[in-house]
Homo-oligomer: A and B are copies of this chain.
Amino acid sequence: MSSQAFELLILGSSSASPTADRNQSAQLLNIAERFFLIDCGEATQIQLRKFKAKFQKVDHVFISHLHGDHFFGLPGYLGSMHLLGRQQELNIYCPKELKSIIDLIHEVSETKLNYPVKWHFTDNSKQNLIFEDDKVEVYSFPLKHRIYCTGFLFKEKPFPRKIDKFLMDKHEVSTADVHLLRAGLDVTNSKGELIKNFEVTLDPPKSRSYAYCSDTKYDETLVQYIKDVYLLYHESTFLDDKIDRAKQTFHSTAKQAASIAKLANVKKLLLGHYSARYGDLSQFVKEASEVFQNCALSVEGETVLVEHSE
């Protein structure tokens, strides 16, 4: 149970302009074989092919906002899934205007997708639960950017408590009651004695979580939505030398991303959305780690494994 996948494949790390080797924002998150595509910059479908990722297994696409570098890859991705024979429903979580754009494109190109698209329009006035199944919950939350924008929080649901078989036998608890113990309940044993849950179970692994914050100005009010997450992606478009430019364009610096990571008490910070003006990215880690030690660059094709925290 605790060994289920929780991994993030980086498809793009660039901001508004791509470069010859950095694509625009897109990430593929796998939690327990649920595949979530997060933002879909131009050429995302090419990146998915290049990295041999699960192209058709994505059932949920999340678009943070409608600047082109976050969604210009979506029309092509939808079209390719159609051409490759998809029939399964696709869920898209996004600002409502995206539907009009996709509808117009399909009208003009006389395209009728083989598969149904279910639209879920985000609401950036507050945090909202937007997806839930037996293993995962996804929330959207407000981000402060030049235009309407939301972040997304992906959380594993709590794992069942771990049974200690030896202690169960010792206390003469029936195996028929395992499901009650896993759910954290106390049980009565074969002798009619009350056995407290903690006497025969152990704490399960802590649930893992990932928060995606792009694009946003430096904004401490977002800490409430991402408190204690394991992995935080926070945009870092600029280095400290461009802090004024960051403020002006409602973006953040690497150091500001690190401040949010520290305030939110996250385990690990992932930087990204770099301005095309920067060739060498090592300075991003250098500046961020002055404030928050455990940080890394998002790099196209690299997978970040989200491990269980202690």
Cross-chain contact B76 with A68 (CB below 8 angstroms) = yes
Closest approach, in angstroms, between the C-beta of A197 and any C-beta of chain B?
52
Give Cα A87 to B24, complex, Å: 24
Could you tell me which residues of chain A, from 228 to 255, have a CB within 8 Å of some CB in chain B? none
Closest approach, in angstroms, between the C-beta of A90 and any C-beta of chain B?
16
Closest 6 A-B residue pairs measured CB to CB?
Answer: A43-B43, A97-B108, A42-B76, A20-B49, A20-B50, A72-B76
Give Cα A98 to B79, complex, Å: 17
Given contacts A16-B79, A19-B49, A72-B72, contact A66 B101 (CB under 8 A): no
Cross-chain contact B68 with A109 (CB below 8 angstroms) = yes
Question: Is A202's CB within 8 Å of the partner chain B?
Answer: no
Closest approach, in angstroms, between the C-beta of A55 and any C-beta of chain B?
10
Closest to A80 in B: B17
| Interface pairs (14), CB distance under 8 Å | A16-B79, A17-B80, A19-B49, A20-B46, A23-B46, A42-B73, A66-B109, A68-B75, A68-B105, A68-B111, A95-B108, A101-B105, A104-B104, A109-B147
Closest approach, in angstroms, between the C-beta of A265 and any C-beta of chain B?
34
Question: Is A134's CB within 8 Å of the partner chain B?
Answer: no
Contact with B along A10-44 (1 / 0, CB 8 A): 00000011111001100000000000000000110
Cross-chain contact A109 with B67 (CB below 8 angstroms) = yes
Question: Is A1's CB within 8 Å of the partner chain B?
Answer: no
Contact of A79 among B45, B68, B97, B104 (CB under 8 A): B68
Question: Is A176's CB within 8 Å of the partner chain B?
Answer: no
- For the complex with contacts A18-B46, A67-B109, 13 further pairs of A-B residues with Cβ separation under 8 Å are A16-B83, A18-B80, A42-B45, A42-B76, A43-B43, A43-B46, A66-B108, A68-B105, A69-B79, A98-B108, A101-B101, A101-B108, A110-B147
Question: Is A190's CB within 8 Å of the partner chain B?
Answer: no
Contact with B along A58-97 (1 / 0, CB 8 A): 0000000011110011011001100110000000000101
Question: Is A165's CB within 8 Å of the partner chain B?
Answer: no
Determine the chain B residues whose CB is within 8 A of the CB of A43 once the complex forms: 42-43, 46
Question: Is A100's CB within 8 Å of the partner chain B?
Answer: yes
Give Cα A104 to B106, complex, Å: 14
Give Cα A287 to B110, complex, Å: 32
Question: Is A146's CB within 8 Å of the partner chain B?
Answer: yes
Closest to A105 in B: B101
Cross-chain contact A110 with B49 (CB below 8 angstroms) = no
Determine the chain B residues whose CB is within 8 A of the CB of A46 once the complex forms: 18, 20, 23, 42-43
Determine the chain B residues whose CB is within 8 A of the CB of A108 once the complex forms: 66, 95, 97-98, 100-101
Give Cα A75 to B75, complex, Å: 12
Give Cα A277 to B111, complex, Å: 21
Determine the chain B residues whose CB is within 8 A of the CB of A84 once the complex forms: 17
